[in-house]
Structure 1
Amino acid sequence: MSLDGRTALVTGGGGPLGRAFALALSAAGARVLLTGRNRASLTEAAERVAEGGGEARTAVCDVSDPVSVRSLTAELADEDVSLLVNNAGVAGPVRPLVDVEPEEWDEVFAVNVRGVYLMCRAFLPPMLAAGRGDVVNVASVSGKRPLLHRTPYTASKTALLGLTRTLAGEVGPRGVTVNSLSPGPVRGPRMDRNFRLTAELTGCTVEEAEHDFASRAALGRLVEEDEVARALVAMLAMPGLCGADIDLSAGMIAPA
């Protein structure tokens, strides 16, 4: 798959998965723009792209803040963004819903849903004017099956699936595709945190929490970051894909 001549904007670009997306998109030939809230992590990700012979530009932005998104739009006005990867997201609390504070619920939806809305609202108009473009929203298998003690997160990812399908119907006729990619549990710092919190909540060990979670997958394992990144590039090689959700969860199913 060649993305030569394309410019891709990746939110949450300083995180592990954002960095993996940046490396895969760059390897496919795209110019990469990375945005997120942490300048140091963005710089590190851009350096990794440069080490691989690619090119990456960074810009700090809080996708949940309309003012910050407007500033990002102005800062990148000279860029022809034809590929938007909405990857920014927060995991939220790990506890029963009745113990979740309203502020915690709002923070999860502000980033995971409102952030996608604001970024699409800002960067779709030029794509629509050009009659071409791709939007990929990073959802989660947790938006399609139960995940106990993670209600804010799962609810936000379910909302993102609905946003994807409806937006695809709006902009598909004008040449822009919108799809979602739903990873299962991806090995990395976020899942390590979740396993630790689950262990504290249930009284099991961290190792037992990870084993219990991974055993729900048909392949009996977590998904690797580079697998998710390769799936993103593969989706872009399917021009007929629109309004679809790609499940990359190692066969994760709901617990019995």
Structure 2
Amino acid sequence: MTVVSTGGTDGAVAGRTALVTGAGNGLGRQIAITLAEAGARVILTGRDRAKLDAVAEEIGAAARVQVCDTSSATAVEALRAAVSDEEVSILVNNAGVAGPVAALTDVDVDDWDAVFAVNVRGVYLMCKHFLPQMIEIGRGDIINMASVSGKRPLARRTPYTASKMAVLGLTSTLAHEVGPLGVNVNTLSPGPVEGPRMDRNFALEAERTGTSVQEARDEFVSRAALRRMVTEDEVAQAVIAMLHMPGLCGADIDLSAGMIAR
């Protein structure tokens, strides 16, 4: 399938170059496809070339693939050099890992560090190396993917929740640093997203509690005001909406079907 651009001509997305990290599957894949549909040229980054190539094939000529481990300073520097011919004015820091599911006292130090390396250090490195060009041209949009889990308790997931709260803090401060220079920095905080990851979580919860998978799912979604989870497409469309809001800077957009509404 090749994406056919349906973007407008207002310049909020169409005609710009966007870089999406973690673009090989899940949210990153859908965000990249949706940006291309809106008329952007999209650079897909991640650690798995085969997955990135598959997404690029879906998108077509508007996509470019660059393999990169965003937790590595050397790799991000190399990425920046490799795409020096591109004017990247949209950066979506989507790459992330879920980390261990365990009580804090049982979390291994290396596992803790691995979560922060991708979820926080990776965001920092990408911003550090791609901001200078945005500042030079006087325009840019950075959307850092956080999570409602950075704003509410999530049992046995301390490394993940702490890392996402760190992203919120990084974003709000960076927005005040570079907002006056023409760069908007915001976070998008999805709630649980429909898909294989949540299906696995429900299966594990059902096994742990001795209930059915459907019962585990029903109990979970009952916490949301809309009594459901969000979809990958809803998250991707939120990215597009944020890019059409020039006054949005230093904001955190909650897209959780009301998971933290009460």
8 A contact 2:225–2:261 mirrored in 1: no
Tell me the CA shift for residue 189 of structure 1.
2.1
CA distance in 2, matches of 1:75, 1:128: 19
**Do residues 138 (structure 1) and 145 (structure 2) align?**
yes
Structure 1 pair 145/102, CA: closer, same or farther in 2 (3 Å)? Answer: same
From 106, 109, 112, give the equivalent of 2:116. 109
Q: 2:101 aligns with which of 75, 94, 106?
A: 94
1:6 maps to which of 16, 19, 31? 16
Gaps of 5+ in 2: 1-7
Q: Which residue of 1 aligns with 2:218?
A: 211
CA distance in 2, matches of 1:152, 1:195: 20
Please tell me the residue identity of whatever aligns with 1:81.
V
Q: How does 1:119-198 map to 2 (within 5 A)?
A: 119-198=126-205
In the alignment, structure 1 residue 242 sits paired with structure 2 residue 252: no
What is the CA–CA distance in structure 1 between the aligned matches of 2:50 and 2:257, rounded to whole Å?
Answer: 32
Amino acid in the other structure paired with 2:216 = A
CA RMSD of aligned residues (A): 1.5
Could you tell me the percent identity over the aligned residues? 67
- How far apart, CA to CA, are the structure 1 residues paired with 2:130 and 2:21? 12
Alignment counterpart, residue 92 of structure 2, candidates 77, 80, 85: 85
Gaps of 5+ in 1: none
Once the 2 structures are TM-superposed, how far is the Cα of residue 208 of structure 1 from its aligned partner?
A: 2.7
Report the more deviating stretch, 211-220 or 201-210: 201-210
Structure 1 contact 184–223 (Cα < 8 Å) conserved: yes
Q: Kindly tell me the number of residue pairs found equivalent between the two proteins.
A: 252
Shift of 1:254: 7.8
Tell me which residue corresponds to 1:36: 46
In the other structure, the counterpart of 2:3 is none
CA distance in 1: counterparts of 2:95 and 2:125, whole angstroms = 12
Q: Distance in 2 between matches of 1:114 and 1:202?
A: 35
Structure 2: how far apart are the matches of 1:197 and 1:117?
A: 33
SS across alignment from 2:155: coil
Q: How far apart, in 2, do the equivalents of 1:197 and 1:254 lie?
A: 26
SS at match of 1:34: strand
For 2:165 and 2:244, how far apart are their aligned partners in 1? Answer: 25
SS of 1:251's partner is coil
Letter in 2 for 1:220: R
Give secondary structure in 2 for the equivalent of 1:40. Answer: helix
CA distance in 2, matches of 1:202, 1:12: 33
